[in-house]
């Protein structure tokens, strides 16, 4: 595992060096008026970005897969506790999310970023082909601006349920939900019930499953 990490680390440094040289060469061709060569080196400059993006996304997908497998294990092996969602308490919070232009996709088939894997990961709005083209041009013409710090406030909520578990009153908390308190309150009122799956060997290891509430509500309708 360490060998793979070292290899990826070396490839990242090589990619950064190649990127730096390609950007310099692109500027040189631009000054010389050799636009054909400029397009070639500019296109090649995108490759290191693509490699780094692919590596990050692969790590995120692996982490997401591990979380999904653990949730499925809790569903099959855990203790199921039914929750009255109307009796749950909702706490609303705001978090400042920091990002740079590097987080905005360039010439991607997706017009928006993937769903954030954490509260710190930006979830930027719709990106048209035109905005992506402008961002790619900005990367070539003003590379320093690509690392300019940007930010926005993200609202999220956490649902708290207090249940009897093994003879004790125990508090359970949902994962952060990217909704405001009012919208989430309506959601819980409509879906009425959910299930918490608890690891029988460790009560701190649990999964607050609100999807079950959605499914049961649809079945009743």
Euclidean distance between CA atoms 218 and 191, whole angstroms: 9
Least reliable range by pLDDT among 89-98, 103-112, 190-199: 103-112
For residues 39-50, average pLDDT: 77
For residues 106-117, average pLDDT: 54
Least reliable range by pLDDT among 2-16, 29-43, 90-104, 155-169: 2-16
Contacts 24+ apart (CB under 8 A), 67-73: 70/207, 71/197, 71/207, 71/209
Euclidean distance between CA atoms 82 and 194, whole angstroms: 6
Q: Residue 126 phi/psi, 5° resolution?
A: -50, 130
Given a cut of 80, is residue 110 above it in pLDDT? no
Between these two residues, 15 and 180, which has the higher pLDDT value?
A: 180
Given a cut of 80, is residue 79 above it in pLDDT? yes
Q: In a 10 Å sphere around its CB, with 0-12 CB exposed, 13-18 middle and 19+ buried, how is residue 128 labelled?
A: exposed
Q: Residue 142 phi/psi, 5° resolution?
A: -135, 70
Provide the angle, in degrees to the nearest 10, between the axes of the packed helices 35-77 and 2-32: 150
Q: What is the pLDDT of residue 121?
A: 67
pTM value is 0.59
**Dihedral (CA of 90, 91, 92, 93) sign:** negative
What confidence tens digit (pLDDT) does each residue in 199-220 have? 999 999 999 998 643 443 333 3
For residues 139-145, average pLDDT: 75
Given a cut of 90, is residue 15 above it in pLDDT? no
């Amino acid at each position: 595992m360490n060998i793979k990490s070292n290899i990826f680390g070396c490839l990242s440094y090589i990619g950064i060096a190649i990127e730096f040289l390609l950007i310099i060469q692109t500027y040189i061709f631009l000054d010389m008026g050799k636009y054909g060569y400029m397009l070639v080196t500019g296109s090649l400059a995108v490759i290191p970005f693509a490699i780094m993006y692919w590596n990050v996304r692969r790590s995120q997908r692996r982490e997401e897969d591990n979380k999904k497998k653990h949730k499925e294990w809790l569903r099959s092996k855990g203790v199921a506790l039914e929750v009255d969602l109307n009796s749950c308490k909702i706490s609303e919070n705001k978090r400042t999310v920091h990002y740079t232009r590097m987080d905005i996709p360039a010439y991607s088939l997706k017009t928006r970023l993937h769903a954030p894997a954490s509260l710190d990961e930006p979830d930027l709005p719709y990106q048209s082909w035109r905005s992506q083209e402008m961002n790619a041009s900005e990367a070539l013409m003003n590379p320093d601006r690509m690392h300019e710090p940007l930010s926005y406030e993200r609202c999220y909520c956490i649902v708290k349920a207090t249940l009897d578990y093994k003879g004790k009153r125990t508090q359970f908390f949902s994962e952060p939900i990217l909704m405001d308190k009012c919208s989430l309150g309506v959601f819980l009122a409509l879906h009425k019930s959910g299930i918490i799956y608890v690891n029988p060997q460790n009560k701190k290891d649990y999964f607050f499953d609100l999807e079950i509430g959605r499914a049961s509500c649809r079945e009743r309708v």
